[in-house]
Amino acid sequence: MFSRRAVSKLTTSAPAGFSRRMASTKSLRETLKEVIPAKQEQLKKLKAEHSQTVVGDVKVENIIGGMRGIKAMLWEASVLDPLEGIRFHGLSIPECQKQLPTAPDGKEILPESMLWLLLTGQVPTTEQARELSKELAEKGELPKFVEDLLDSLPTTLHPMTQMAIGVSALNHDSAFQANYEKGMKKADYWTHTLEDSLSLVARLPALSARIYRNVYKPGTDLAAVDKNLDLVGNYSNMLGFGDNKDLTEYLRLYIAIHGDHEGGNASAHASHLVASTLADPFLSYSAGLQALAGPLHGLANQEVLRWQLNMLKELDGKVTHSDIKDFLWKTLKSGQVVPGYGHGVLRNPDPRFIALQEFCDTRPELSSSPLVQLVKQTFEVAPDVLKEHGKTKNPFPNVDAASGCVLYEYGLKDFKYYTVIFGVSRALGCVSQLVWARALGLPLERPKSYSIDALEKLIKSQ
């Protein structure tokens, strides 16, 4: 169980509209009831006073380039700065590592405490994080029909497809859908969205672990949800790695800092878009998982790992900076990209990558690993090579440059499963936004589109 901290934490770096007060033992629901009215009033004032204020210009390249860079989405949980990286309600990753509660047997952020921060804008006390852990554990078991559904799927079906199917099926018990059909008030939308969101997060470990067991360890026993463990403690245990405390700590860190990355990424945007139709969180996040399964979004860490292992094999394990440089150029000249480098928004090294590297530096078994050391050495060489190559806007590593390699070293070597762990993580940010979208009454998302002919006509008319 979680130990109590002697001193309560003050909420820090809270955005405008959030109260600053000594953290207490208020529940998550009580906290949200306190902060939502202030945020609703802030949005109402913004709409009344600044609805016609221009915040950016749309160019033809934005329209035909996947809407990249267009400032056109409200997302409360986090803001991604190209130079500073991600901030969760104003807190950087190092600040979160210092302030957010940890497990009693570890030092890394509890994903439950990150979920609390994303939902409320406030740093929870250890007691509040503990209570949320207990609630999620109580809700963590899968309905029998979902277990049967997952067990019926062919083991050759991609784990991400199975995850999306399982999450969609959970909508059978959606509180939002049931109450919407009864005719609930709009003011109550967020409360039922919250209940579904917590149920979804709670059940993801059991759902994801069952997929892992079915695909990679068929016939083995699957541990039950332990009501005394935190979310990742249960996940690691059900995966069969409960005795590996270092892997459990790594998963806590990875899932917490990878839980949200503003709303413009494909999985977050897909969840937000589907939720704007008033689909429940299960259906909405299932759509996000489908987006996450694409090679340009969620599969990057396994591509990095394959590339790094190929380098180790080709160089026979004896790697110098000169060898890495040659291998990088070989990759680029073959027409491939260097996996794990570059980012759609970031223009500096990803703070998540730095956090994972620092984790590796504190573990002797990782510091001595040729694979993990290769990740570090590649970071020392690749940026200069990519700058010289001249075709990469951001020559620095993103989180995927390190994440899969650590999983591999700790014995979780099933590449196709890595994105499922990403899916467990990204739920934290997506469901937080779903709650706020309903609390703020955000409308159906419906951008305007143009055909090529219509776009050319519009350009000529100007």
Residue by residue, DSSP assigns 129-175 as HHHHHHHHHHT-SPPHHHHHHHHHS-TTS-HHHHHHHHHHHGGGG-H
Residues 456, 57: Cα–Cα separation, whole Å = 18
Q: Residue 101 class from Cβ within 10 Å (0-12 exposed, 13-18 middle, 19+ buried)?
A: buried
Out of 230, 260, 350, 400, the active site residue is 400
In order along its 462 residues, the chain shows pLDDT tens digits of 333 333 333 333 444 444 334 446 899 999 999 999 999 999 999 999 999 999 888 999 999 999 988 999 999 999 999 999 999 999 999 999 999 999 988 999 999 999 999 999 999 999 999 999 999 999 999 999 999 999 999 999 999 999 999 999 999 999 999 999 999 999 999 999 999 999 999 999 999 999 999 999 999 999 999 999 999 999 999 999 999 999 999 999 999 999 999 999 999 999 999 999 999 999 999 999 999 998 888 888 888 999 999 999 998 877 999 999 999 999 999 999 999 998 888 889 999 999 999 999 999 999 999 999 999 999 999 999 999 999 888 899 999 999 999 999 999 999 999 999 999 999 999 999 999 999 999 999 999 999 999 999 999 998
Q: Which residues lie below 8 Å from residue 15, measured CB to CB, with a gap of 6+? A: 89, 90, 121
User: d(Cα 278, Cα 229) in Å, to the nearest integer?
Assistant: 33
Residue 389 among the catalytic residues: no
**Of the residues 230, 272, 343, 350, which is catalytic?**
343
The first and second tokens of residue 322, run together, are 């000169």
pLDDT at position 24: 65
State the amino acid at position 299 in one-letter form. Answer: L
**pLDDT of the residue at 50:** 95
57 is a catalytic site residue: no
Q: How far is CA 165 from CA 88, 205, 289, in A?
A: 30, 15, 10
Write down the residue that tokens 């749309």 correspond to: 58
Q: What distance in Å separates the CA atoms of residue 169 and residue 199, rounded to the nearest whole number? A: 13
Who's near 141: CB < 8 A, 6+ residues apart? 203, 206, 224, 225
pTM of the model: 0.92
Q: What are the structure tokens assigned to 303, written together?
A: 């591509």
- Phi then psi for residue 308, to 5 deg, are -65, -40
Say what the pLDDT of residue 262 is: 96
Rounded CA separation 164/177 (Å)? 18
Q: What's the DSSP call for residue 363?
A: -
- pLDDT for residue 391: 85
- Exposure b/e, 368-404, CB count within 10 A at least 16 = b: ebebbebbebbbebbbebbeeeeebebbbbbbbbbbb
Containing 81, the helix (H) or strand (E) segment is: strand 78-81
One-letter identity of residue 383: P
d(CA 118, CA 205): 19
List CB contacts of 345: < 8 A, sequence separation 6 or more: 80, 82, 262, 264
DSSP string, 178-216: HHHHHT--GGGHHHHHHHHHHHHHHHHHHHHHHHHHHHH
Pair 171, 285: CB distance under 8 Å? no
Q: Which domains does the chain have, with CATH numbers?
A: 136-295+416-439 (1.10.580.10), 300-409 (1.10.230.10)
Residue 198, pLDDT score: 98
Helix H or strand E encompassing 449: none
Choosing from 297, 323, 326, 389, the catalytic residue is 297
**DSSP letters along 287-348, please?**
HHHHHHTSTTTTSHHHHHHHHHHHHHHHTTT---HHHHHHHHHHHHHTT---TTB--SS--S
Contact between residue 124 and residue 45 where contact means Cβ atoms under 8 Å apart: no
Contact 211, 159 (CB under 8 A): yes
Has 89 been annotated as catalytic?
no
The strand pair at 78-81 and 85-88 is best described as antiparallel
Phi, psi of 305 (to 5 degrees): -60, -45
Residue 423's pLDDT is 97
Neighbours of 216 (CB within 10 A): 17
Say how far apart CA 150 and CA 208 lie, in whole Å: 10
